Structure 1
Amino acid sequence: MENSQAALLTLGFLLFLKGSSALVVTPVTDPVISEVGGNVQLEIKPPGVLGTVTWTFSAAKIPVVSWTETNPVIGAGYENRVTLNTTTGSVELRSVNLSDAGVYTFQGNIFTSGREPFNGNVTLKVDELITNVNVKPSLAQPIANQALKLTCEVLGSQTVSSRLWMKDSQPLSTSDRITLSVDNSTVSFNPVLQSDNGEYQCKASNPVSEVTSAGYRLEVNYGPEQASITAPDSAAEGSSVTFTCSAQSLPPCNYTWYFNGTETAQSSQYKIASVSNADRGNYTCVAWNSVTGRNTSVVKEFIVTGEL
């Protein structure tokens, strides 16, 4: 049986190789694109009644299927994966894998006024599906006025045709400060600013899939800035006073109080229940951001007046 199949395949090749002035038939679709595991149609429509047809793969002419008016003969490795349409000469290829990508050549003859040879080829492109897309920051805690990169990580496929960056659901605008790599795989902020805060997404696509990442929320840490103390300039002995320190900062900063150079408290507020003349002097608030590592200070002079 194996010898007879080999003979039929060989006959299919010989019927066509001897003709050099064959009719060139253009495939219905070229190239044909498939995902890994998919089924594809390599479809042709010769202008006449099909007499014979042979399909081979790649420059090595690996036999795929051959038909010479008897039962089609399937090439080794294509068993249960190939179905030949003996009316048109088209081939269905199932369970496509990456190694199936390449050029498929067909040749045969049709009956018109006589027996006329034809040939042609079709290219099959195979890609893996993109399974997931992630946005990865170069810094876990971005800090204002430092460089930052966001990387579009694509999983599941080595083939990425395009990447599109979005901020707050709109295409990302670039500038001298915000730039994209040649393949759009990274966004660089030089430097990153508070105005860059927002939700970033990357949409990656290839010929068989398109996936958009979950949103990455960029919050730029900054400060402390513009520290201030809210308190009266003076108070009478025996009264109560509250000093409140504030500064613009992300995350919220820590506060330390100093009275005439000596640390007295760690809180945003410093309270004196009953003012005495000993409370006269300078109150300094130091605001510190544990993420940026920066601090700033402000001084308040406080005067004690006569008793209530």
Structure 2
Amino acid sequence: MDVRLLWVAVVVLVLLLAGLGTAQNVLPPGPLSGAVSGSVTFETTLRPPERPFLSVSWSFKGANVITSTVDEDLPGDGYAYRISLDRTTGGLQLSRLTVGDSGEYVLTVIPQGDSLKQGKILLHVYVPVSGVMVRGPTSVLIEDQHSASVTCEASGTVSNRMWTKDGLPVLAGPTVSLSADNVTVSIEPVRSYDGGVYRCRVSNPVSNLTAEFNLTVNCE
């Protein structure tokens, strides 16, 4: 380990053990959300100090993301070309996100003439939703004689599926049921009023897509 980085680690440990200033979370409430291949900015509540911070350090799962001293910036393995640090506030931008970047990030700031400042925040990285498609029956449906299933397929990280029919939410009832994951709407038997446009909206905190299927029910 670099001597300067070791010195910063020792100072941080001593201050933590002393219990100085660790109660204040200098990061806003989380979690933050980011998309794979995108970027996210960790903003802080710190104001630029009159004298530069002695050190600003970010860590992830106990590993160094970057430790910045008055003299030098020391990025962790794999972060050199993915991060941008604002030493005046401790803010960090992380780019080229992967799902593996999801987890808790810890900021530790050592001011000059003041107590240690620390904050923790969670980041969730999602694969954007894609390939949303609604599939339904291709054969003729006769009222009271047939059943039907309408299925919503999607790729990416799916946090939520919401069904509507002709603009109104699809609700479970005597002849209508929804699968536990909301992938499929099942109707048994079909009635004339079950016909219409079924839309499925698939979403996560960074993306959403909608697809539809027109279900036709014929009277005998």
Q: Tell whether the structures are fold-level matches, with TM greater than 0.5.
A: yes
Identity of aligned residues (%): 30
Counterpart residue number, 2:207: 209
1:8 aligns with 2:7: no
In structure 2, relative to structure 1, the CA distance for the partners of 1:29 and 1:41 (3 Å cut) is: farther
Q: Deviations over 1:203-225 (max 9, x none)?
A: 11111111111x311123564xx
Q: Does the 8 Å CA contact 1:13/1:54 hold for their aligned counterparts?
A: no
Tell me how many residue pairs correspond in the alignment. Answer: 211
For structure 2, list consecutive stretches of 5 or more residues without a partner in the other structure: none
Provide the C-alpha distance between the structure 1 equivalents of 2:140 and 2:11, rounded to a whole number of angstroms. 70
1:287-302 matches, within 5 Å, as none
Counterpart residue number, 2:58: 55
1:155-234 matches, within 5 Å, as 155=155, 157=156, 159-213=157-211, 215-221=212-218, 223=220
1:256-275 matches, within 5 Å, as none
Q: Taking structure 1 as the reference length, what is the TM-score of the superposition?
A: 0.64
In structure 2, relative to structure 1, the CA distance for the partners of 1:178 and 1:142 (3 Å cut) is: farther
Q: Which runs of 4+ in 1 moved over 4 A?
A: none
Larger of the two Rg values belongs to structure: 1
Letter in 2 for 1:77: G
For structure 1, list consecutive stretches of 5 or more residues without a partner in the other structure: 224-308
Larger RCO (alpha carbons 8 Å, 6+ apart) = 2
Q: Deviations over 1:7-27 (max 9, x none)?
A: 333222222111231323231
Measured on the aligned residues, the alpha-carbon RMSD in Å equals 1.9
Q: CA deviation at 1:93?
A: 0.5
Tell me the SS of whatever aligns to 1:33.
Answer: strand
Provide the C-alpha distance between the structure 1 equivalents of 2:134 and 2:83, rounded to a whole number of angstroms. 41
- The structure that is strand-richer by fraction is 1
Q: Deviations over 1:88-141 (max 9, x none)?
A: 111111111111111111213123xx231122211111001101311122x431
1:88 aligns with 2:89: yes
In structure 2, relative to structure 1, the CA distance for the partners of 1:77 and 1:11 (3 Å cut) is: same
Letter in 1 for 2:56: V
Q: Taking structure 2 as the reference length, what is the TM-score of the superposition?
A: 0.87
Letter in 2 for 1:136: R
